[in-house]
Amino acid sequence: MIDFLKNIDSGWTLFLDRDGVINKRIYDGYVSSIKEFHFLPGVLESLSFFAVIFDKIIVVTNQQGIGKGIMSENQLLDINSYMENMVKQNHGRIDAVYWCPDLVFKPDNCRKPDVKMAEMAKGDFPKIDFSKSIMVGDSKTDMEFADNLGMFKIFVSKENDNVAADLRVSGLLELKKILLKYL
C-alpha cells in the first residue's frame, strides 16, 4: 500500500494539517495564542528534511475558532507567522498556509473535506499536481479531503480506528524515518 513512496520526487507536494500534525492539538478548545502553540516532537527536524524532498509544503487547516469569536484572524496570523519563522530557523520551509474560519454548519463553507483550500493553493502554485500530492492529517475529514482530490493519504494516529488511509504514522518524525527507507 505504501509503494507510492518510492515514486516521490521533487515534483511532489506535501499538504499538512496543522493541529495534531505540526503542533499539539487542544481537544475541546483552540490554539488561540503563540503561548498555546507547541510543536510536536520531531516536527521541526522532519520539516527540514521534507523541505529538501518536496517541491511545495502547504498547510491546510480548519480554524473555526475564528468563526466562533474565540480568536481573531490577526491572532491566527500571529500564530502562523510564529510557526513559519520557527520552521525556517530550523532549516525547514512552509510555502503557504491556508485556513478556513467557517463554522461547521455554515452552508458552502471552505472547511476540509471541501477542496477550496487546495484549489487556492493550486491557484497560487499552478504546478501542484494532486495525483503527486500527499495529505498528512489526523482526522477523518483530512483523509476525505485527500480522497476528494485524488491525493495519497497519511493518517497520524496513535490508536487503531476505522479511518481509511494509505499509511498510518504516529507523527511526522515516523514519516521522515519511513521516507528515508524509500528515497
As annotated, the active-site residues are 17, 19
The residue among 88, 91, 30, 85 whose CA lies nearest residue 61 is 30
Whole domain around residue 62: which residue ranges? 3-182
Overall pTM > 0.95: yes
Q: Give strand ranges (E) for 31-151.
A: 56-62, 96-100, 133-137
82-107 pLDDT per residue, tens: 999 999 999 999 999 999 999 989 99
Q: What 3-state class would DSSP assign to 156?
A: strand
In this structure, are residues 176 and 47 in contact, taking their beta carbons and an 8 Å threshold? Answer: no
Q: What is the CATH number of the domain that holds 138?
A: 3.40.50.1000
pLDDT band of 1, cuts 50, 70, 90: low
Instruction: Tell which wins on pLDDT, 106 or 121.
Output: 121
On the question of pLDDT at 169 being above 90, the answer is yes
The count of structural domains within the chain is 1
**Distance in angstroms (rounded) separating the CA atoms of residues 29 and 111:** 17
